[in-house]
Structure 1
Amino acid sequence: MAGHVVIGAGQAGAALVAKLRELDAESPITLIGEEPVPPYQRPPLSKKYLLGEMALERLFLRPESFYADQGIDLRTGVRAEAIDRPAQEVQLSDGSTLPYATLALTTGSRPRMLPTAMGGDLERVYPVRTLADVDAMEPEFREGARCLIVGGGYIGLEAAAVAASRGLKVTLIEAAPRILARVAAPATADYFRDLHTAHGVEIREGAALDRLEGDGTVTRAVLAGGETLEVDFVLIGIGIAPDTALAEAAGLALDNGIAVDAHCRTSAPAIFAAGDCASFPWHGARIRLESVPNAIEQAEAAAAAMAGQPADYDAKPWFWSDQYDVKLQIAGLNAGYDRTVTRPGARDGTQSVWYFAGDRLLAVDAMNDPRAYMTGKRWIEGGHHPDPGALADPGADLKSL
């Protein structure tokens, strides 16, 4: 019997099948996962898990027994090879085919890697994405080891924080003029540059990698200007890209990811998509969000549509990053900002950065300042726009604004 099939057993896939079973108690549900383990959390991988502060079982989003108990056929260690849209079947890597009445793609994203010509195929060069990636690199994290991190976004900075915390000699290079250039204001970048420098990380901005070298195993990095850095291993944190290969081969419309409508439906009526891999309409634009909250909430919206209860998905973007003892919380999207306001928090080392387009509040970055984050989130979601000048006054109480 054809039922609901979900390809991609990450955060979005796990949320989708759980919600789908809640809404549809009878139909068969199958979740296909390429990795050989049940769905797990990714954010703690390069932090608490790599630090040894979280056991493997605590990574799992739900006990493995949950899926069987809910009548969800969880198939791990198997890859979806192709989608036969006319036949409404999925071809799997084990040679079997799986019919579907509705299909959801929660294929997530894949890390951008260095090309072979730049030494991307050398041993001891690691992406930071999956459980297997982190398990493979863990033996490298020995005190005094020389770690090079390529990329000054949040992935690279989080990896740098863990490496420095474990006593490694860490150098981070960023080709752009500053870290976090694509995603945050200079004030936020300055805060995190100072934080990492205080923990012994050497940050090199405007330092493009030319290539990695070594006889099969990386031993050095050559920068664009010819400078050579001796390294023991390299972590690649140059971003991720939506995993759209399966959708593209099936002829689905793409637009910075798998294009879906407000009900998470793709250009094929029986196929839906959610999470990192999907772009969707939002406030007159089309966006794609790489975050755990979006993966869960959009997946639940897709589940409702698949169960015949569609409702428009209205994303409320928020994100976080943990580095050392600092929790960064972000509400809103800062795209299009033309000025920022930096506001000190109530305690030393805390602050918030507020993004405005004209007088309209777009987003806030809050560093160890949960009150600023929660206030900003309420304001953004409620369409409230405080006066930027008053907000910049540290003596002005947030409630009064």
Structure 2
Amino acid sequence: MPSGSVRRSIATMANSLSLKHGLSLWCPQPASLNRIPQPSSIAFSSSPRTYVVASSTFANQNREFVIVGGGNSAGYAARTFVEHGMANGRLCIVSKEAFAPYERPALTKGYLFPLDKKPARLPGFHTCVGSGGERQTPEWYKEKGIEMLYEDPVTGLDIEKQTLTTSSGKLLKYGSLIIATGCTAVRFPDKIGGNLPGVHYIRDVADTDSLISSLEKAQKVVIVGGGYIGMEVAAAASGWKLDTTVIFPENHLMQRLFTPSLAQRYEDLYQQNEVKFLKGARIKNLEAGSDGRVAAINLEDGFTIEADVVIVGIGAKPTVSPFEAVGLNSNVGGIQVDGQFRTKVPGIFAIGDVAAFPLKIYDRIARFEHVDHARRSAQHCVRALQSAQTSLYDYLPYFYSRVFEYEGSRRKVWWQFYGDNVGETIEIGNFNPKIATFWLDSGKLKGVLLESGSPEEFELLPKLARNRPLVDKQKLQSASSVEEALEIARSSMQVETAA
């Protein structure tokens, strides 16, 4: 990501490029990192609701607590309810998926490993194994007395009557409602071939199963998007030994986080794994072959790329319907909440990707599409709900990626970023074996990214980003290694603490 005064994001706001045919091709950004003024017109109420207590069999169709959504946030919220003795016979989860909540990042990582490389499969990555917790299989929910409604998304909400309507016609009365609907993938329009057979989007297990079925028969794969999805899926496709091309409209990978020089390091690594890149690409349409399946991508400059599988990773949008009435944020999208994840409607909360919340450390409203925030927001919300705690959510922006982790890979890659990517950047290291990028704003360290660090080094990153020490720029630039640079930053933090 460029340095200077630019305030960017990785996971939510779309900074789209307008194309001749009305199509925007863009990649995810972290909603954390845009300077967005906090609206002053939103009022949050803690006034009581009419609570209902359900029996353990839910015979009366009343639920004291209802979570809408079956993703990471729902799974971690359920665990927190259980930890506080609030689940048995009192909690219902309504999901559009056929599976119990699972760790969604696996879908573009281990789930896509080549079939001979021990790919991840359910029930292996149900929540909450991603944070070292107990694996919450469907049996776990039954044992804990949690009602699960699968493949039955919510279609209506009546705030006054405190009821939800599902697609199957169920009418659920709730006492407290937690909206954890996450996001849906941004899709290409039908008119340019966005739904042709062989065109794939990744948001759930069904999507990824369909993609794997296509990859088994594929020869030429084109991935649209140079962000998280593009990088992770391209690494997986490389493992399948397929002809793989990544196209995107920006000048380099991960434009909203990586500096040009850092991106070049990763692009070189991908090219060593026989992944090709086409930058500055603007899509005109996707073309079908004689069998009706996608066969090519036509670009605005007249260039055509053959493809029998196209994977689109151009961002996501929050799933807010049918919850518009609880208050939406027009700047970062999603449902507006306060520091305890309360919406403007008493008794209704929103967590995870869909929540637009006050980012306390940087004094702005943000929305994050990231598993770490999904976990933490769920835990904070339920704790606030059960204990009337008054502490506000104090989140430190965090993003990571892992690629090329399958057996036989030339090099496994894992980077982590903490903080705010503002100011000028200083890059230390040569990517062999590691590299670090530091963001300094008015001399203060605001953000840091580390590739291939040790566990101890990764543990240092959030401390640096939260403390924001004043760092000697020239001293940092002269560091001969990543280890030395991190020690300079650590020492700066210790000096400020002592002062």
Smaller-chain TM-score bracket? over 0.9
Match of 1:270 in 2: 347
CA apart distance, 1:56: 2.0
Alignment of 1:1-400 (within 5 A): 1=54, 2-25=63-86, 28-51=90-113, 52=115, 53-61=119-127, 62-142=136-216, 145-215=219-289, 216-248=292-324, 250-255=325-330, 256-282=333-359, 283-310=362-389, 311-324=391-404, 325-334=412-421, 337-344=422-429, 348-370=432-454, 371-392=456-477, 393-394=479-480, 396=484, 398-400=486-488
Length, aligned pairs only: 397
Residue 338 of structure 1 deviates from its aligned partner by 2.5
Amino acid corresponding to residue 303 of structure 1 in structure 2: V
CA distance in 2, matches of 1:330, 1:391: 18
Query: How far off is 1:397 after superposition?
Result: 5.6
Offset of 1:364 from its aligned partner? Answer: 1.5
CA–CA distance in structure 2, aligned partners of residues 13 and 241 of structure 1 = 18
CA distance in 2, matches of 1:270, 1:313: 18
Distance 1:76 1:385 in 2: 51
Classify the secondary structure of the residue corresponding to 1:126: strand
| Cα distance in 2 for residues equivalent to 1:84 and 1:319 | 36
Aligned partner of residue 206 in structure 2, secondary structure: helix
Letter of the aligned partner of 2:451 in structure 1? M
Indicate if the aligned counterparts of 1:143 and 1:167 stay in contact, CA closer than 8 A.
Answer: no
Partners of 1:144 and 1:189 lie apart in 2 by 28
How far off its partner does 1:144 sit? 6.8
Verify the 8 A CA contact 1:171 1:204 in the aligned structure 2. Answer: yes
Name the CA distance, whole Å, in 1 between partners of 2:170 and 2:202: 31
Look up the equivalent residue of 1:333 and give its one-letter code: D
- Residue 123 of structure 2 aligns to a residue whose secondary structure is helix
Distance in 2, matches of 1:13 and 1:349, equals: 38
C-alpha separation in 1, matches of 2:354 and 2:413: 29
In the alignment, is the contact (CA less than 8 A) between 2:183 and 2:317 conserved in 1?
yes
Unaligned runs of at least 5 residues, structure 1: none
Aligned AA (1:253): L
* Percent of pairs with identical residues: 28
How far residue 165 of structure 1 moved from its aligned partner, in angstroms, is 1.2
**More displaced, 38-47 or 49-58?**
49-58
Give the structure, 1 or 2, with the largest relative contact order (CA under 8 Å, sep 6 or more): 2
1:253–1:267: 8 Å Cα contact kept in structure 2?
A: no
Query: Matched residues in 2 for 1:244 and 1:196: separation?
Result: 36
Question: 1:246: how far off?
Answer: 2.1
Q: What per-residue deviation string (whole Å, max 9, x for no partner) do you get for residues 83-125 of structure 1?
A: 1100001111121111111100000111111111221021100
> In terms of mean alpha carbon deviation, does 5-14 or 318-327 score higher?
318-327
Give the secondary structure class of the aligned counterpart of 1:219: strand
**Structure 1 residue 158, shift from structure 2 partner:** 0.5
Contact 1:146 1:233 in 2 (8 A): yes
Which deviates the most, 271-280 or 74-83?
74-83
Instruction: Name the stretch that deviates more: 193-202 or 370-379.
Output: 370-379
Residues 92, 148 of structure 2: 8 Å contact kept: yes
Shift of 1:143: 8.0
Q: Distance in 1 between matches of 2:205 and 2:349?
A: 26
Amino acid at match of 1:394: S
Q: Distance in 2 between matches of 1:82 and 1:263?
A: 24
The SS at the match of 2:294 is coil
For 1:373 and 1:184, how far apart are their aligned partners in 2? 18
Q: Which amino acid aligns with 1:349?
A: P
Q: For residue 148 of structure 1, what is the amino acid of its counterpart?
A: V
Matches of 1:143 and 1:363 in 2, distance apart?
43
TM-score w.r.t. structure 2 length? 0.76
The aligned amino acid for 2:65 is H
Post-superposition shift, 1:150?
A: 0.5
In 2, Cα distance between equivalents of 1:368 and 1:78: 42
Distance 1:42 1:214 in 2: 31
Distance 1:389 1:377, change over 3 A: farther
Cα distance, 1:168 vs structure 2: 0.5
For 2:109, what is the secondary structure of its paired residue? helix
Unaligned runs of 5+ in 2: 1-53, 55-62, 128-135, 405-411, 492-499
Shift of 1:398: 2.9
Tell me the secondary structure at the aligned position of residue 313 of structure 1: coil
SS at match of 1:77: coil
Q: CA deviation at 1:20?
A: 2.0
* Cα distance in structure 1, aligned partners of 2:303 and 2:93: 48
Which of structure 1's runs of 4+ aligned residues deviate more than 6 A? none
Aligned amino acid, residue 270 of structure 2: H
Quote how far apart the aligned CAs of 1:227 are.
Answer: 0.5
Structure 1 residue 322, shift from structure 2 partner: 1.1
SS in structure 2 at match of 1:245: coil
What is the CA–CA distance in structure 2 between the aligned matches of 1:292 and 1:364, rounded to whole Å? 19
